[in-house]
Amino acid sequence: MTKQQFLSQLAGNLISLDNTERERILSYYAQMIDERMEDGMTEEAAVQTMESVESIAAEILAEHPAKSQQAVPAQPVQKKGGKGWIVAVCVIVGMLILGIVALAIAGLSLVGCVTNQVLQTQGHGVQVELAPQYSVDAAGSNAMFDPVQTDALQVNWEIGNVYITVSDVEEITLHEEGSLDLDKYPMVLRTDNGGLTVNYAQRTVFDRGISLIKNVDSKDLYVELPADWMGAVTVNVDVGTVTMEGGVLARVDIDAALGEVLLYNVDAKAIRIDADMGNVEVDARFDSLEAYLAAGNLELIAQQGSGRIEHADCDAGEIRIEGDFTYADVDNDMGNVDVVVQGKPQAIDIGCDMGDIDLTLPEALGFMMEAETDMGNTNIHFPVEQQYYDDDRVFTVGDGGCKIELSCDMGSIDVQQG
Amino acid sequence: MDAQMKRGLLETCVLATLRRGESYGYQIIKDLSDCIQISESTLYPILKRLESVGCLYVKDVPHNGRLRRFYGLTVLGEKRLDELFDQWSEVIRVYEFIKKEALQ
């Protein structure tokens, strides 16, 4: 059997499912066959090793209770004989027309209360799903969906937890009106094709977080959080800039494939940024920070009271760090490193394969420094009280409290007083 | 193994294997095969359920001229895994009890 035959048969067995779910299942099994073929099997062998179409369909259908049983309300029992069947037909036709009208209206604008049910609306390529786990409280809910604007979606709600999947929309704006209880469920926002804007007007304290996932797009992602927000934010973006402003966060985790990452006035226990292409700008207070950049510049301002810069790694690009931190481990393969220290760090370790290191230290800082460059000059413009030029070129200033290691393969080292 | 028990275990296994990083269906099955056998049609509803409750996110990544669907842990997924993991110490205590009683 070919892959196509297998999938057609499977589709035939899943005819009772809705199109979206059926397509999803078919794509899942198509991928399984593709993976086997990539492992070296022939198409036929790959299909051969799959479970039978019938057993797959049986297993899937067992997970999906027949829709007709759920959706159609019990019909009143008609008296036998007479013209009951005509009445029944009229009732059903009437209900169908009403249903179609209702759907048409819903397609334009849907404002209403939702209780423990899945609201799924499709129109202009927009799909909003409120899964039952994230049901909106009937008393205070207001789920508004306006697909008339084909390129924008706005969802307002007051009470309840929401899970939203948007498959094709230019922009989503989510605005929290009241106290959204995210203690039980964090919010997951996902868009396959669109920008994502999240505004939190006010926030009660909670320890869960939000995940923002954006798959393919040229639009940007923007998150604005109030000052008292406590939670974790995970962001995954393939294309587009990630901007985050404000918020007191347990953890920020950002993966950006293409595009910049901009973090302003964020206060977080831990920040981790992974950027493949594009610059990263961070102006934040943090307990620990890790930033990995493949191509692009890193500009980091560590606000007062910041902790450890565990890793600031660039493959190619400039690194500039300024501010108050206790520890920094900086690595740049290609490009310069410029660090301006304002606080009293315990240790600084800077490695630069190709590029210069510029380090500015506060006047009052005592340190013990090891500085070496294979090709380039080492200039210490610092009023060193004690200065030893031995093989390791160790310079000690003041109490020697801060341990500094600077190493360059190709480039100069310049240390000056701030 | 009892079907219900296996299902619960599989869910934990899937979450655990994704903690290492994003993965796709076929790879997940391969990764789990060392400890537990799982078929495609068993995995599908597990992934779907975990996604619908917000434990997983999915993304389609171009690969060899087609799309490969990756699954990854969300914040909630990580918390869920931690919770399930914590429950294990309890399970082990119960197991020790059963073993002791049953073997008497």
Read off the pLDDT of each residue in A112-132 and give the average, rounded to a whole number: 36
Q: Which domain holds residue B95?
A: 3-102
Find chain A residues with C-beta within 8 A of B25's C-beta.
Answer: 28, 31-32, 35
CATH of the domain at B44: 1.10.10.10
Mutation for testing the A interface, residue in B19, B50, B57, B79 having most A CBs under 10 Å: B57
Q: Are A416 and A381 in contact (CB under 8 A)?
A: yes
Taking 50 as the threshold, does the pLDDT of residue A358 lie above it? yes
pLDDT of residue A389: 56
Residue-averaged pLDDT of chain B: 87
A168 CB burial (10 A radius; 0-12, 13-18, 19+): middle
Using the 8-state DSSP alphabet, how is residue B20 labeled?
Answer: T
Least confident interval from A140-149, A180-189, A240-249: A140-149
Q: What percent of chain A has pLDDT over 70?
A: 57
ipTM of the complex: 0.87
Taking 60 as the threshold, does the pLDDT of residue A258 lie above it? yes
Give every CB contact of residue A318 below 8 A, 6+ residues apart in sequence. Answer: A297, A298, A332, A335, A336, A337, A338
- Place B86 in a pLDDT band, splitting at 50, 70 and 90: confident
pLDDT of residue B27: 94
pLDDT in tens, A299-331: 999 999 999 999 999 999 999 999 999 999 999
First and final C-alpha spacing in chain B: 23
CA distances from A174 to A152, A222, B2 (A): 11, 11, 43
Taking 50 as the threshold, does the pLDDT of residue B53 lie above it? yes
pLDDT of residue A163: 47
How are beta strands A126-130 and A119-123 bridged, if at all?
antiparallel
Read off the pLDDT of each residue in B37-42 and give the average, rounded to a whole number: 88
Q: Are A121 and A128 in contact (CB under 8 A)?
A: yes
- Place A353 in a pLDDT band, splitting at 50, 70 and 90: very high
pLDDT of residue A194: 56
List all residues of chain A from 34 to 93 with a beta carbon under 8 Å from chain B. Answer: 34-36, 38, 50-51, 55-56, 59-60, 63
Read off the pLDDT of each residue in A248-277 and give the average, rounded to a whole number: 86
Taking 50 as the threshold, does the pLDDT of residue A101 lie above it? no
The greatest distance separating any two alpha carbons of chain A, rounded to the nearest whole angstrom, comes to 112
Taking 60 as the threshold, does the pLDDT of residue A145 lie above it? no
Number of domains in chain B: 1
pLDDT of residue B52: 84
Mutation for testing the B interface, residue in A31, A55, A165, A167 having most B CBs under 10 Å: A31
Kindly list the domain boundaries of chain A, sorted by start residue: 3-64, 109-275
A305 vs A246 pLDDT, higher one: A305
- Place A381 in a pLDDT band, splitting at 50, 70 and 90: confident
Q: Is B75 on the interface with A (CB under 8 A)?
A: yes
pLDDT of residue A138: 30
pLDDT of residue A379: 85
